[in-house]
Structure 1
């Protein structure tokens, strides 16, 4: 359904405050979601980064009326390179569900995709990411003050290229306060009528404070940060 795809697209939040494993800071962020599907309603999304042995885990849990999405990735930092190890995505919408599991093998340069119980293996280049770790890399690149961002992502059983453009800064008011946030746009090509924007606060090490998506029909969907808790690594 379009709704579940929108909910996933709206949850493009990032989780890396430094360029090496020593710079990672565990945290939990809560967002308020607003949706327009012919009627308006709200939801909630929680993003958390935590340490698990020699790996890091970035997870997202979202609920809105009749849908839920649970997503996580396990990854390592190897010589400042993000290496996803395992990615899972689980969605439920009005009686239907979708499950996907990706297992990366960097010794062979492959990823095992298991979608709808139908596994297959494909080759991936060094530096390839999954649907959550590319968000980690984007935030890392913002910290490096880059202007454009291009990532190879294993998504939907194939390798896709994701592009983003840095547009400038705008003041954003949130329940946490006001921030002079950097505005980023998803580059979908000149003919696309869908528009996706994110605002990241430098004061919060570029954690996302707002996200907005405008569909072809003009309907809008948004996330706004509500709470932020910094936690201690074990």
Structure 2
């Protein structure tokens, strides 16, 4: 049997919700404030689906940073989940474990990487990857948190060595190219715009917009190939969940 909510209880409930929403809208979160964010993903006028990003604190200086996507086009589908468990000391992100899982059209794939001081290990095959020594390696998710920390520290050019879900080593280079007021489904937001810099003669373009007033939350990411749009993810809604 449903319990009737008194007028007083309803007022208290609404007051709590207002207080929480007021924090989300008015407070100035920093890069490490836990959050949940949802994005609308499109290609031109086609709606491809949704993506989500989530930062959670699981201990002292210990976090999980996750990405989820649920995309489809006609009879094709792609569902992904990536999670990096990591630590942060002196504004340096150090990954501990990276999980990748992809399901949908075609073959399902998964990867689990363990990061130690001197090696990156393919846990599923119990094999140490053949990558260079003496480099601070990131995975495909943890470098994005390091990028946010570096932007907050005032950097305008950043580079990161990472191991991707295909277990290949990569160098990603980014540069701040503009400041823009961007209008997305979540509203009008002040952003800094970055581009990924590729040394090869690539026809690919990747652009990012992040919001300084929201702890450098990702607001939009857009990709082109050969002058044609591949995907455009725009922030739809978000909430900060401080401890």
Number of residues of Structure 1 aligned to a counterpart in Structure 2: 207
Q: 1:217–1:96: structure 2 CA closer, same or farther, 3 Å change rule?
A: farther
Paired with 2:106 and 2:144, the residues of 1 have a C-alpha distance of 29
The residue number in structure 1 matching 2:5 is none
The residue number in structure 1 matching 2:101 is 90
- Bigger radius of gyration among the two: 2
Paired with 2:90 and 2:236, the residues of 1 have a C-alpha distance of 34
Q: 1:184–1:217: structure 2 CA closer, same or farther, 3 Å change rule?
A: closer
The residue number in structure 1 matching 2:163 is 154
The residue number in structure 2 matching 1:7 is none
Give how far 1:190 is off: 5.6
Gaps of 5+ in 1: 1-15, 19-23
The residue number in structure 1 matching 2:119 is 110
Paired with 1:192 and 1:94, the residues of 2 have a C-alpha distance of 27
CA RMSD of superposed structures (Å): 2.0
- 2:51 is aligned, of 45, 51, 67, to 45
The TM-score normalised by the length of structure 1 is: 0.81
Which digits, 9 at most, give the CA deviation of each residue in 1:163-183, with x for residues without a partner?
011101122102222123111
Q: 1:207–1:61: structure 2 CA closer, same or farther, 3 Å change rule?
A: same
The residue number in structure 2 matching 1:32 is 40
Task: Compare 24-33 and 94-103 and name the one that shifted more.
Answer: 94-103
The residue number in structure 2 matching 1:186 is 196
The residue number in structure 2 matching 1:173 is 183
Q: Which aligned runs of 4 or more in structure 1 are off by greater than 6 angstroms?
A: none
Task: Compare 118-127 and 213-222 and name the one that shifted more.
Answer: 118-127
Are 1:60 and 2:67 an aligned pair? Answer: yes
Are 1:80 and 2:78 an aligned pair? Answer: no
Which digits, 9 at most, give the CA deviation of each residue in 1:82-141, with x for residues without a partner?
1100001101121421111100112xx111124xx5342035535221111110111111
Do the aligned partners of 2:91 and 2:149 also contact (CA within 8 Å) in 1?
A: no
Paired with 1:102 and 1:205, the residues of 2 have a C-alpha distance of 28
